[in-house]
């Protein structure tokens, strides 16, 4: 079987399209690269969806934590504390079993006991908490002069937030937010190891990598392939976020623009 056939068979296997049976013996390098790459689709799906939805909630949480309203502030602080203070792995487990019992009780949450929706909810809340804390830190370092200037121009409330505070906050938070994004993509590998079932062996990249490692007793091939994919993904994220960073800082003089520095990514 040539490599092209393998790609045709297994390229979209993680979505359930193509050959049903996973290879059982005589594993070729091509099969491993194709299947692990096919699993990356899930990592990208979880990462992008959680990032996009989490961004909105993160802004709201940051505003809540900085607000003068006691109830809103406490609520945001507790939200951030709960999701940042506990392991994502345990959050996945808890959410899965929570959705499972809700499903039995009401039947309304059927979709959430499968990975594509349930894990996405957890990742969404989790990244909202982490980025909320980052945005809050940036919100506190918005220069006083900017706000005073906005006041002097007669801006207040929503226009001041939208045109002065928010863009500056984003600009200041962007390097840290880039790391959070990389972090999030790495965290997506936990999904199929934490209760959420991989139905019909439709799993993510790490799921297939560990499948091959278990079958061949040889970790030296699948895991480096996985590592290669993730380094590639990280480079793409850094590239895209770098472009946005340039856009956010386009009004600043050339030498005052902060450079994106990628810090090490720790798991959560």
Partner 1 sequence: MQWFACYLTTGKHMGFYVSFGTVLLLLAITAPTALAFGFAAAGAARSAIAPLRWIGKTYIAIVRGVPDIAFFLFFVIALDQAFEWMRHKVKCADWDQPIRQGNDFVVCAAAKLPLGNSPQWMHETYGFFLAVLTFSIVFGAFAGNVLFGAMRAVPHAQLETAAAYGMSRRQVFWRILVPQMWVFALPGLSNLWMVLIKATPLLFLLGVEDIVYWARELGGAKTPRFTDYPHDDWRMWYFLALLIFYLAFTRVSEVVLTRLMTRLTHGQATTGGEAQRKAAT
**Positions that interact with partner 1 (CB under 8 A):** 25, 27, 81-82, 85-91, 93-94, 97-98, 100-101, 182, 186-187, 189-190, 193, 206, 209-210, 213, 215-220, 223, 226-227, 230-231, 234, 262, 264-268
Nearest to 262 by CA among 226, 243, 232, 234: 234
Q: Provide the minimum distance between the beta carbon of 116 and partner 1 in the complex, in angstroms, as a whole number.
A: 19
Instruction: Give the side-chain half-sphere CA count within 13 A for 196.
Output: 30
Identify whether the C-beta of residue 194 lies closer than 8 Å to the C-beta of residue 267: no
Residue 94 CB, shortest distance to partner 1, in Å, is 4
How far is 189 from 268, CA to CA, in rounded Å? 12
Output the CA angle 108-111-117, nearest 5 degrees.
130
Least CB distance from residue 57 to partner 1, whole Å? 20
**Where would I find the H helices in the chain?**
3-10, 29-66, 70-85, 88-106, 115-140, 144-152, 157-160, 166-187, 205-216, 222-248
Rounding to the nearest 10 degrees, give the CA dihedral for residues 54, 183, 47, 18: -160
Nearer to partner 1, 30 or 262 (CB): 262
Nearer to partner 1, 89 or 161 (CB): 89
Instruction: State the nearest-atom distance from the C-beta of 42 to partner 1, in Å.
Output: 13
Q: How far is the CB of 259 from partner 1 (least distance, A)?
A: 16
What distance in Å separates the CA atoms of residue 138 and residue 97, rounded to the nearest whole number? 36
Closer to partner 1 by Cβ: residue 256 or 266: 266
Q: Which is nearer to partner 1, 96 or 164 (CB)?
A: 96
Q: Of the candidates 229, 235, 233, 185, which has an alpha carbon nearest to the alpha carbon of residue 32?
A: 229
Residue number with CB closer to partner 1 (158 or 220): 220
Q: Cβ of residue 151: shortest distance to partner 1, in angstroms? A: 28
Nearer of residues 150 and 176 to partner 1, judged by Cβ: 176
């Amino acid at each position: 079987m040539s490599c092209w056939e393998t790609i045709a068979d297994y390229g979209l296997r993680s979505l359930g399209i193509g050959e049903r049976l996973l290879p059982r013996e005589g594993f070729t390098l091509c099969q491993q690269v194709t299947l692990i790459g096919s699993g990356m689709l899930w990592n990208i799906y979880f990462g992008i969806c959680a990032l996009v939805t989490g961004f909105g909630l993160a802004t709201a949480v940051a505003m809540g934590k900085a607000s003068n309203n006691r109830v809103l502030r406490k609520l945001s602080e507790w939200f951030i504390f709960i999701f940042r203070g506990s392991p994502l792995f345990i959050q996945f487990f808890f959410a899965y079993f929570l959705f499972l019992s809700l499903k039995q009780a009401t039947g309304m949450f059927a979709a959430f006991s499968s990975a594509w929706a349930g894990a996405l909810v957890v990742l969404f809340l989790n990244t909202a908490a982490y980025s909320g804390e980052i945005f809050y830190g940036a919100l506190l370092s918005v220069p006083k002069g900017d706000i005073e200037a906005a006041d002097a121009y007669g801006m207040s409330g929503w226009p001041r937030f939208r045109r002065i505070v928010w863009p500056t906050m984003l600009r200041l938070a962007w390097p840290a937010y880039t790391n959070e994004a990389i972090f999030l993509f790495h965290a997506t590998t936990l999904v199929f190891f934490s209760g959420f079932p991989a139905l019909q062996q439709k799993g993510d990249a790490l799921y297939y990598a560990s499948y091959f490692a278990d079958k061949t007793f040889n970790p030296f091939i699948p895991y480096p392939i996985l590592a290669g994919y993730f380094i590639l993904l990280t480079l793409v994220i850094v590239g895209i976020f770098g472009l946005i960073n340039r856009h956010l800082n386009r009004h600043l003089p050339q030498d005052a623009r902060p450079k994106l520095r990628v810090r090490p990514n720790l798991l959560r």
